[in-house]
Structure 1
Amino acid sequence: MSYCKLEDKTATVTWHYGNGEKMTFIANTVPINVLVGSENYGFWTVDTYDDITQSYVAHYNGTEADIPETNGRTLQTVTGRVISTDSTTVAGSVRIRSAFFTPSTYNAYIKVLDVSGKQIFQDSSSSSTPPIFKVACGTSCPDGYCKCEIPEYPGYCCLDCAATATSIRLITNELRSKNG
Structure 2
Amino acid sequence: MAYCKIGDPNATVTWQYQNDDPKRFISNIVPIDVTIGFDDEVGVWRVDTYDDMTISYIASYSGTQAESPVGIARELRTASTNRLISSDGNIAAGNVRVRSAVFTPNSQRIYRIKVLDTTGKVIFENFKETNTPPKYQVACGVACPEGFCKCEIPEYPGYCCLDCAFTAASIHAITNELKYKNLGGLPPLTLT
Shorter-chain TM-score bucket reads 0.5 to 0.7
Contact residue 16 and residue 131 of structure 1 kept, 8 A: yes
Counterpart Cα distance in 2 of 1:29 and 1:103: 37
> How far has the Cα of 1:133 moved from its partner?
1.4
Correspondence 1:36 to 2:45: no
SS in 1 for 2:7: helix
Match of 1:125 among 128, 153, 178: 128
Report the residue type matching 1:7 in the other structure. G
Listed one character per residue, the Cα deviations across residues 70-112 of structure 1 (whole Å, up to 9, x for unaligned) are 2499xxxxx667xxxxxxxxxxxxxxxxxx9641263221111
| Structure 2 CA distance for partners of 1:72 and 1:159, relative to 1, 3 Å | closer
| AA matched with 2:34 | V
Give the secondary structure class of the aligned counterpart of 2:113.
strand
CA contact (8 A) 1:38 1:129 kept: no
Tell me the TM-score normalised to structure 1 length. 0.65
Give the CA deviation at 1:135.
Answer: 1.1
Does 2:156 align with 1:147? no
CA distance in 1, matches of 2:124, 2:14: 12
User: Do the aligned partners of 1:11 and 1:135 also contact (CA within 8 Å) in 2?
Assistant: yes
Q: Which runs of 5+ in 1 are unaligned?
A: 46-58, 74-78, 82-99
CA distance in 2, matches of 1:157, 1:134: 13
Residue identity in the other structure for 2:32:
I
Describe how 1:44-55 pairs up with structure 2 within 5 A: none
> Residue 11 in 1 paired to residue 11 in 2?
yes
Task: Show the counterpart of 2:53.
Answer: none
Please, what TM-score do these two structures have when normalized by structure 2?
0.62
The structure, 1 or 2, with the larger RCO (C-alpha pairs under 8 Å, 6+ apart) is 1
**Percent pairwise identity:** 52
